[in-house]
Chains A and B, each alone.
Chain A
Amino acid sequence: MSNELIQIETPFQFSDENQQEFDRLIQWYPVKEAAMLPTLHLAQKQVGYISPAVMEHVAALLEVSVMKVKDVVTFYPMFFEEPVGKYVIRVCYTLPCALRDCKLVLEHIKQKFEIDVASETDLAKGTTSDGKFTLLKSECLASCDVAPVVMINDDLYKNLTPQKMDEILDSLE
């Protein structure tokens, strides 16, 4: 008998700090469900992606069905349902960046890490094998004056060229 078939996910809990943050923001809304997006952001910050265990916990906290949480998670592109790299690289690919050769930057990253661009249904193909980087195409990042731009986790990098991109990626631990 193989026991690999039975995998029970460990239940999710907020860390103390995040629990405090949650307790603070839940008071802002007359309806608990309204805290959905900030709560999911908080959970994703803690574990990197929204696993089924996270969804169950969030549903219990906000007193809604798990399906409602899943519904929201699948609608918004910023929530991941699978593990992603430590650094999520979002290359802006909308018109103003396209006019400033964002394609060169994207192609360069693809070649450098030998990965494809991740899609919402297949994050693995855009993630390096060591789990360090995930490459995503992004819609307009609202910095068209300093195009092309790339967002890595929470930081925005401006006026990029393949060389500059290289230096930035190499400097990341």
Chain B
Amino acid sequence: MVQERRILYEHLDVPDINTFDVFRQYDGYKHFEKTIQEYQPEEICDMVMKSGLKGRGGAGFSTGLKWSFVPRDIEPRYLCCNADESEPGTFSNRYVLERNPHLLIEGILICCYAMGISTAYVYIRGEFTLGKRMLDAAIEEAYQHGYLGKNILGSGFDLDIYTHPGAGAYICGEETGLIESLEGKRGQPRVKPPFPAVEGLFHKPTVVQNVETLCNLPFLMGNGVEWYTDIGRTYADTRANPPTPDPNTGTKLYCISGDVNKPGVYELDLGLSAEELIEVAGGVKGERVKAVIPGGSSAPILTHYELECRLDFTSLTLWKSMLGSGGIIVMNETRNIVDCLLNIMKFYAHESCGQCTPCRWGTPWVRDIVQRIADGEGRQTTIQRPKFGVAEGGRWGDTGEMEEVYEDLDLLESVANNIANVDTMTWNTICVFGIAVSWPAVSYLRKFRPEFEAAIREGKLVTLSVEEATVPPEENYAYQQRIVPQLFEA
């Protein structure tokens, strides 16, 4: 069985680790001290780039690459730490903030030293009152001990950290939405480019990083690039999971919830399969797995045929899904997929910021269609298509067979695909919220179509057995499209 490798979470359960003294006993701030003594800022950026560290917030974008876009000649530059953890199924940042806030401060220190930043804002979601209290106390202590403020440890490096509370809007987790919100406005995402790295907070270059990404930095700097890149090479490549051209290094805080025996956060090397993760979390509660959401509710769903899929940033993209924030939600054989989709669509319809028309209108529309199906009022029509031409064995005017059409399912797919298209991988909205709505919606529908059809046919929610509800791999668009030969050869 796969073993946990606790790096970020190593001291999480130590009593009073949230206080400066206990944190120091467990080598707290040692990595930062080493960094500031041994490395120049450019060397740190170089190491982060070489380490292959990817942003843990959702997009999985290379941290080193992001840093390289920041112009060094514009002052001031800012760091925004994204602690607006609101993706359904994700809860790893909360534990860091509540139990080990000094680790986050250490990560912020290293990032700011590398980027020449002297002001950092931590945007904490409004509901994290305890987390904010703990972090505020930790920041206070860090100031007292000279790890924040002017001329830190006599190095000439200054840093101030401020915590900024959000107010319950999911969209403020999007980096430009977060920046707008921090500026005291509605949290509506900006048109990109310019990207925040060039023009962000108060129109200055801004680095936006997730809590987990920043918490990786002390260990990366303290132990070196080789140590870090080794962590990602734990699992053997298989036919289902061939080597990816883009290495996934480091550990990930996998948050697993739903129908498993031991839900919680597990820190594991990136790239174990969904099957293995469920095993680590004590196995499925109930008889068997019906579906797994691999990366927070924004990620397209996986069927039980797809559980061998590796949970890392690159592999899941090949499987037409995404790792996102690493929130895994497991559903067992008793769950109705239509009902689950309805729950998620209600969430998105409530959280759309209202800026782009496809999302503002499309999201509630998708919700209403799913609601209609769940209420047993899904629309179905029988049509008779005209038959044309000799090739089809008919004469002009002949009519074909009577055909049953699930009107609402076609409508659902059409509306969702017009917010963001699954097949062409394009979207018609400013931010990726559109993707977070439509890709899951289409994936639920295409992969569990029999259950949707049954709900319309029977006029009520019908939970089919796992085999009956799932579209077989031959007809599964994601399963069929997942093999991308040129990528494998690279």
Contact = CB atoms under 8 A, between A and B. Distances in A.
Interface residues on B, range: 35 or more
Interface string B301-333: 000000000000000000000000001010100
A95 B89 contact: yes
B162 A40 contact: no
B331 A76 contact: no
A36 B184 contact: yes
B343 A94 contact: yes
B343 A95 contact: yes
A99 B130 contact: no
Contacts of A31: 183-184, 202
B329 A144 contact: yes
Contact of B181 (A37, A139, A143, A145): A37
Interface in A123-155: 138-147, 151, 154
A37 B335 contact: no
A34 B265 CA distance: 34
A34 B168 contact: no
Interface residues of A, number: 42
B164 interface: yes
A38 B202 CA distance: 17
Interface string A13-46: 0000000000001001011011111101100000
Contacts of A99: 257-259, 329, 331, 335
Interface centre among B88, B90, B94, B126 (most CB of A within 10 A): B88
A168 B467 CA distance: 42
Given A95-B88, A98-B343, A145 B264 contact: yes
Given A76-B169, A144-B255, A34 B184 contact: yes
B186 A142 contact: no
B469 to A, nearest CB: 16
6 contacts: A34-B184, A76-B168, A78-B127, A139-B86, A139-B350, A142-B94
Given A41-B165, A76-B126, 10 more contacts: A36-B184, A68-B185, A72-B185, A76-B166, A96-B257, A138-B127, A139-B170, A140-B90, A142-B93, A145-B263
Interface of B: 85-91, 93-94, 125-130, 160, 162, 164-170, 181-187, 202, 255-259, 263-265, 293, 297, 327, 329, 331, 335, 340, 343-344, 347, 350-351, 353
Considering the complex of A and B, which 8 residue pairs feature the smallest CB-CB distances, nearest first?
A: A36-B184, A76-B167, A144-B257, A78-B168, A140-B88, A78-B167, A154-B129, A33-B184
Interface of A: 25, 28, 30-31, 33-38, 40-41, 62, 64, 68, 71-72, 75-79, 90, 93-96, 98-99, 138-147, 151, 154, 156
